[in-house]
Chain A
Amino acid sequence: MDELIKNLKKEIIEALNLEDVKAEDIDTEAPLFNEGLGLDSIDALELIVLIEKKHGIKIQSADEGKQILYSVKTIAEFIIKNKK
């Protein structure tokens, strides 16, 4: 889980062009949207693509997506739960 979280943070920084943000700056349990990294709706779509592209898992519904994309920790838990 720790390794996955570390990699996820790096992937998020790269995919969302978060210049000047380092992996260690991202709080694993903090909300990614509004507060925290201040991500927006396009970033949410980009995260959905990232999860599918890098981890081979599709998020099926918008409601599900909201909970999954809440924090780095919730994304990591979703990946572990759905990894084939």
Chain B
Amino acid sequence: MNNNLIISKSCKITNNTIIVNDKLLFENNNVPYNVFIKNAYKKYINNYPKFFKMDNLSKLGIIAVELLSDEFKSIDGKEIGVVLVNSASSLDADQTFQKTIVKDNYFPSPSVFVYTLPNIVIGEICIKHKIYGESSFFVSQNFDSTFIYNIVCDLFSRQGINTAIVGWLDFIDNDYLASLCIIKKISQQNLNYNEMINFTIENLNKTINKDI
């Protein structure tokens, strides 16, 4: 167990709902994903037109991280890392791009093509929040809490990082789940951090994995 690290905040987005720290924050039932995510954008961001050019996965990540951003607003971007995992990679964008390269209608879309890698969402998050720390994106069938715990501990020990955005971010066939959290390094004087959850494999698993 790493005694200096805590899970300070979590955000889940799935099935037209946004849950922050286990509390329902936003709900938009009976609308398709594009309407739901646009309404979430209007409510929580609304001043970043580049959002509308993004693919579904990036939009999901941008909204989830926005709702966690008060945890790292005052931190130097060089000290923030990102570790994300999913199982569908960028398949949603890949399929959209494939539709632009069919035999009798061959017009490859550059703006779709740029999203045909899963780690592009990390780029979008980092551009928006001016994050310059180490980042990684893993593609795996499941969220392996032990593996990610070790990756995050390594990130904190070697890279001068004191905050990390960590979790699961997946979008495929209109099925989506963002389950992200903020991991923070705390000093002894901040031990009474509000609603403190120690960063352990078990707590990471409980925070990220319960809906996957």
Please, what's the 1-or-0 string for A41-58, where 1 marks a CB less than 8 Å from any CB in chain B?
011011001001100000
Instruction: With both chains docked as a complex, state the minimum distance between the C-beta of B48 and any C-beta of chain A, in angstroms.
Output: 11
Tell me the dominant secondary structure on chain A's binding face: helix
Tell me the dominant secondary structure on chain B's binding face: helix
CA distance A17 to B44 in the complex (A): 20
Let me know if A43 and B111 touch, CB within 8 A: yes
Let me know if B107 and A53 touch, CB within 8 A: yes
Q: Is A64 an interface residue (CB 8 A)?
A: no
CA distance A17 to B55 in the complex (A): 11
Instruction: With both chains docked as a complex, state the minimum distance between the C-beta of A81 and any C-beta of chain B, in angstroms.
Output: 22
Let me know if B49 and A45 touch, CB within 8 A: no
Let me know if A16 and B108 touch, CB within 8 A: no
Instruction: With both chains docked as a complex, state the minimum distance between the C-beta of B200 and any C-beta of chain A, in angstroms.
Output: 42
- Which residues of the other chain, B, contact A3 by a CB distance below 8 angstroms? none
- List residues of chain A with CB under 8 Å of any chain B CB: 16-20, 42-43, 45-46, 49, 52-53
Q: Is B98 an interface residue (CB 8 A)?
A: no
Let me know if A52 and B107 touch, CB within 8 A: yes
27 sampled A-B residue pairs with Cβ under 8 A? A16-B53, A16-B111, A17-B52, A17-B53, A17-B111, A18-B49, A18-B52, A19-B38, A19-B49, A19-B52, A20-B49, A42-B53, A42-B110, A42-B111, A42-B114, A43-B111, A45-B110, A45-B111, A46-B109, A46-B110, A46-B111, A49-B107, A49-B108, A49-B109, A49-B110, A52-B107, A53-B107
Q: Give the nearest-CB partner of B108 in chain A.
A: A49
